[in-house]
Structure 1
Amino acid sequence: MPGLNAAFVDVGYEKDAFLHYLDLGPQVQSLLKLTRIVKNGSYQEKLLNSLKLEKDIDKAGKISDILSKNMLLPVQIAKEPISTKGPRLSSDLSIAGRFVVLVPFSSAVSISKRIKGSNERTRLKKIVEGIKPPNFGVIIRTVSEGKGVDELQKDLLDLISKWEIFTKRLRTAEPPQKVLGEMDRASTILRDLLTDEFTHIHVNDPVIYEETKSYVQDISPDLEKIVKLYKHKEPIFDHFGVEKQIKAAFGKTVTLQGGAYLVIEHTEALHVVDVNSGNRSANKENQEDNALLVNMEAAKEIARQLRLRDMGGIVVIDFIDMHKPTHRKELYSFLKDCMATDRARHTILPPSKFGLVQITRQRVRPEMNIVTNEKCPACDGTGEIRSSIVLMDDIENNLSFILQEQNEKGISLCVHPYIAAFIKSGFISKRIKWFLKFQKWIKVVPVTSYYLTEFHFFNAKDEEIKL
Structure 2
Amino acid sequence: MNWDAAGISESQPRKIEMVLKTGQPVLVQVTKDPIGQKGARLTSQISLPGRYLVYVPGGGMSGISRRLPEPERARLKTILKPIVPEEAGVIVRTAAEGASDVEIEGDVARLKAQWDDIVQKSENPNFHAPALLYAEPDLAVRVIRDIFNEDFRKLTIQGNDAWEEINGYLSFIAPELTSKIEKWTGLGDLFADYRVDEQLAKAFDRKVYLPSGGSLVIDRTEAMVVIDVNTGKFIGKGGNLEETVTKNNLEAAEEIARQLRLRDLGGIIVVDFIDMILESNREQVLRRLVECLGRDRTKHQVAEVTSLGLVQMTRKRIGQGLIEAFSTTCDSCAGRGIHIHTEPLKARPAMPFESHSDNSSQEEPEVSEEAQESEQKPAVVTTTAAAPSGRKRRRAVSTGVVTPGA
User: For this structure pair, what is the TM-score category when the shorter chain's length is used for normalisation?
Assistant: 0.7 to 0.9
Would the aligned equivalents of 2:237 and 2:244 in 1 still touch at CA under 8 Å?
no
The partner residue of 2:97 within 109, 126, 145 is: 145
Q: Deviations over 1:200-225 (max 9, x none)?
A: 22222211210000111122212213
Q: Deviations over 1:222-250 (max 9, x none)?
A: 22133223243322210111011111233
1:66 paired residue number: 19
The partner residue of 2:2 within 15, 25, 39 is: 25
Task: Give the length in aligned residue pairs.
Answer: 324
Secondary structure of the 1:228 match is strand
Secondary structure of the 1:347 match is strand
1:55 paired residue number: 8
Once the two structures are TM-superposed, the CA of residue 284 in structure 1 deviates from its matched residue by: 8.5
Distance 2:189 2:231 in 1: 36
1:164 paired residue number: 116
Once the two structures are TM-superposed, the CA of residue 59 in structure 1 deviates from its matched residue by: 10
2:135 paired residue number: 181
Superposition pairs for residues 79-228 of structure 1, below 5 Å? 79-115=32-68, 117-172=69-124, 173-228=127-182
Would the aligned equivalents of 1:109 and 1:129 in 2 still touch at CA under 8 Å?
no
Of 269-278 and 284-293, deviating more is 284-293
Structure 2 segments unaligned to the other structure (5+ residues): 328-406
Cα distance 1:60–1:263, how it changes in 2: closer, same or farther (>3 A)? farther
Would the aligned equivalents of 2:203 and 2:263 in 1 still touch at CA under 8 Å?
no
Structure 1 segments unaligned to the other structure (5+ residues): 1-23, 30-53, 372-467
Once the two structures are TM-superposed, the CA of residue 183 in structure 1 deviates from its matched residue by: 2.0
Aligned residues: CA RMSD: 2.0
Once the two structures are TM-superposed, the CA of residue 57 in structure 1 deviates from its matched residue by: 6.1
Distance 1:92 1:218 in 2: 28
The partner residue of 1:266 within 198, 213, 220 is: 220
Q: Deviations over 1:325-375 (max 9, x none)?
A: 11111221211111112111111013223221011110111221156xxxx
Q: Deviations over 1:99-151 (max 9, x none)?
A: 01111113212011222x22222221222112212211110001111222111
2:251 paired residue number: 297
Distance 2:51 2:96 in 1: 8
Cα distance 1:64–1:148, how it changes in 2: closer, same or farther (>3 A)? same
Distance 2:52 2:63 in 1: 12
1:77 paired residue number: 30
Higher helix share: 1
Once the two structures are TM-superposed, the CA of residue 55 in structure 1 deviates from its matched residue by: 3.5
Would the aligned equivalents of 1:79 and 1:363 in 2 still touch at CA under 8 Å?
yes
Would the aligned equivalents of 1:109 and 1:128 in 2 still touch at CA under 8 Å?
no
Would the aligned equivalents of 1:109 and 1:125 in 2 still touch at CA under 8 Å?
no
Once the two structures are TM-superposed, the CA of residue 62 in structure 1 deviates from its matched residue by: 3.7
Say whether residues 1:358 and 2:312 are aligned partners. Answer: yes
Secondary structure of the 1:147 match is coil
Once the two structures are TM-superposed, the CA of residue 56 in structure 1 deviates from its matched residue by: 4.2
Once the two structures are TM-superposed, the CA of residue 73 in structure 1 deviates from its matched residue by: 0.7
Would the aligned equivalents of 1:332 and 1:350 in 2 still touch at CA under 8 Å?
no
Secondary structure of the 1:131 match is coil
